[in-house]
Amino acid sequence: MSRTRSIKVGTLARVEGEGALHVRVAGDRVTDVKLEIYEPPRFFEAFLRGRSYREVPDITARICGICPVAYQMSSVHALEKILGITVHPSVRMLRRLIYCGEWIESHALHVYMLHAPDFLNYPDVLTLARDHPDRVKKALELKKAGNDLMTLLGGREIHPVSVCVGGFHRTPSPSALLPIRDPLRRARDLAVETVEWVRTLEFPDFEQDYDFVALSHPEEYPFNEGRLVSNRGLDIAVEEYEEHFHEKQVPHSNSLHSVHKGRAYHVGPLARFNLNFERLPESVKTLARDSGMTPPCRNPFKSITVRALETVFACEEALRILEEYEPPPKPRVDAEPRAGTGCACTEAPRGTLYHRYEISADGSVVSAKIVPPTSQNLKRIEEDVRQLVPQLLNLSDEEMTRRCEQSVRNYDPCISCATHFLKVTLERT
Amino acid sequence: MSPGERIALIGYGHPARGDDAAGPLVARRLRGMLPAEVEVREVIGDGTALMEAWSGYDRVVVVDAVVSGAPAGTVHRLDGRRLSDAGDFRSPSSHALGLREAIRLAETLGRLPGRLDIIGIEGRRFETGDAVGPEVQEGIARAAAVLLDEFAATAGSGAARGGG
């Protein structure tokens, strides 16, 4: 006689936004995994139509409270391609610098506040903080260094308003950047400490044969530009993105699932690390090797270590830029609007973010397409859970649910780009 | 307000998600109208961003959209230092850690401001692109008026803050 139990596990406020994960198990078989997430980018795609191209970076920055810079960067790069603008190398440096700030802030938040409690069997960071207050204080200090960098360059505490098509509304003098140097040096030490801490965590024995996809640049660990590459030989210009990656409607969710050659694929820190390891500075490579992290790493739970390593990289890269920065002759390049279509990918903390815009001769947006990293990972997250659950069948429902949540959090889903809470429903028959 | 007291009024929420905009909208109404000692800020990020925003202030008022089952637009007032015991009251904020979590974390780490008041505005709709509901608009106006009176009454002859 079969037995059905349905367990509803409250809210999961630690994943930003709202979503629902349903897992159905019959005996020892997983019969269904569905992750539902709602996607604000769809609203913004419609909202952008008819707006001036100049308004786009400020509007897209509002899509996500955690990664406004990523949305700005993908949009300004796409629009600059249409207008034929090439930014000054110093502007390019400043854009890498502000992106460093976002990676530091976002990774510190996810590693400590959201993901670490899973590994240490705490229900949340509040209980973790009771036992380890100093660690959480350091996490907040690290996160703040990233936030201060974004504020310094972005010009406002919530959404950076200084980034614009063609450059920045205003650019700082080298001396204006000085106050951030010591906090960044301190942040770099805290990030190294983070790597040393997370590598001691216990990682579930779980590996998958992923299709990793990320930007790749010949000389740099990627933020703003590069070709799209994979571990299966993909090597394309960003302009070819839509020929290789397709979005599919799925009945259980209003979000689209992205597929590559009909299959799920994996974007984010683990993909970047595996595909760009050689472009990391020697210091970070050594730290990675000392932490047992060499590519290819196929265990998604180890993404927490990669986030910590990328935080060290972002601090070092920011410090390097501070040393080398000289102000551009003018903050931005202006161009007359012209009709055209342009696209760009940049690497948001949680993975590759694709934007495409068509604008008319007067500079108004005809159409916008935004593919956030979370929707590219959705199908892959479902497949991970599907593969993981058979290993968990002997666990209590509570423990199984917790492990499923941890598995979803491996991808740091930007459900801020979605909605409020993730409910996990586990059904066994 | 006592001399030298540092005060912040923080509107918390996402401006593009329906009634979640209540906090930032109250902050925008009050910007430039409060005594000079009161810093008006908006926070959209997670609860740790809120903790950063109130760091260094003696007295903080956070305005946020809430869901408690009361009619939409109801303006609640809570002692933030007791919010973690406040029953079924929750902040629907679209943040990794919400208001309540930020308060509890700050409590654990000894980072709560000396005085923390929460003005909650009951919301209904929080989807991206939703308009702020008419009852919530009224709640925003009421909350702003109450705060304006309150700060004016305690400010003595405090000059209004210029700009905005």
Burial class (CB in 10 A: 0-12, 13-18, 19+), A219: exposed
Q: Which of A7-21, A23-37, B85-99 has the lowest mean pLDDT?
A: A7-21
Is B88 near chain A, with CB under 8 Å? no
Is A40 near chain B, with CB under 8 Å? yes
Across the range A165-193, mean pLDDT stands at 95
CA A186/CA B134 separation, integer angstroms: 48
Per-residue pLDDT tens digits for A40-92: 677 889 999 999 999 999 999 888 778 889 999 999 999 999 999 999 999 99
Asked if B108 and A133 come within 8 Å (Cβ–Cβ), the reply is: yes
Range of the domain at B121: 7-152
Interface predicted TM-score of the whole assembly (ipTM), two decimals: 0.85
Confidence of residue B91 (pLDDT cuts 50, 70, 90): very low
Query: For residue B52, how far is the Cα from the chain centroid?
Result: 14
Under a CB-based contact definition with an 8 Å cutoff, are residues A95 and A164 in contact? no
Which of the residues A38, A131, A140, A408 would you substitute to probe the B interface, choosing the one with the greatest number of B C-beta atoms within 10 Å?
A140
Tokens, residue A388: 């993981």
Confidence of residue A373 (pLDDT cuts 50, 70, 90): very high
pLDDT at A129 over 70: yes
pLDDT at A319 over 90: yes
Give the three-class secondary structure for A371.
strand
Under a CB-based contact definition with an 8 Å cutoff, are residues A378 and A255 in contact? yes
Across the range A251-266, mean pLDDT stands at 85
Asked whether residue B62 is assigned to any structural domain, the reply reads yes
| C-alpha distance from B147 to closest chain A C-alpha (Å) | 23
CATH classification at residue B59: 3.40.50.1450
Confidence of residue B124 (pLDDT cuts 50, 70, 90): confident
Per-residue pLDDT tens digits for A379-421: 999 999 999 999 998 999 888 888 888 898 899 886 544 333 3
Asked whether residue B158 is assigned to any structural domain, the reply reads no
**Residue ranges covered by each domain of chain A:** 5-38+381-428, 40-380
In this prediction, residue B154 carries a pLDDT of 77
Is A389 near chain B, with CB under 8 Å? no
Under a CB-based contact definition with an 8 Å cutoff, are residues B118 and B50 in contact? no
Asked whether residue B90 is assigned to any structural domain, the reply reads yes
Confidence of residue B138 (pLDDT cuts 50, 70, 90): very high
Asked whether residue B162 is assigned to any structural domain, the reply reads no
Question: pTM for this one?
Answer: 0.91
Give the three-class secondary structure for A73.
helix
Q: How many domains does chain B have?
A: 1
Asked whether residue B45 is assigned to any structural domain, the reply reads yes
Mean pLDDT in chain B? 84
Does the domain formed by A40-380 have CATH 3.30.230.10?
no
Is A113 near chain B, with CB under 8 Å? yes
What are the phi and psi torsion angles at A347 (to 5°)? -100, 95
Which of the residues B103, B128, B130 would you substitute to probe the A interface, choosing the one with the greatest number of A C-beta atoms within 10 Å?
B128
Is A16 near chain B, with CB under 8 Å? yes
Mean pLDDT in chain A? 89
In this prediction, residue A29 carries a pLDDT of 87
Q: Which of A14, A43, A136 is closest, CB to CB, to B109?
A: A136
Per-residue pLDDT tens digits for B10-25: 999 888 888 989 999 9
Asked whether residue B144 is assigned to any structural domain, the reply reads yes
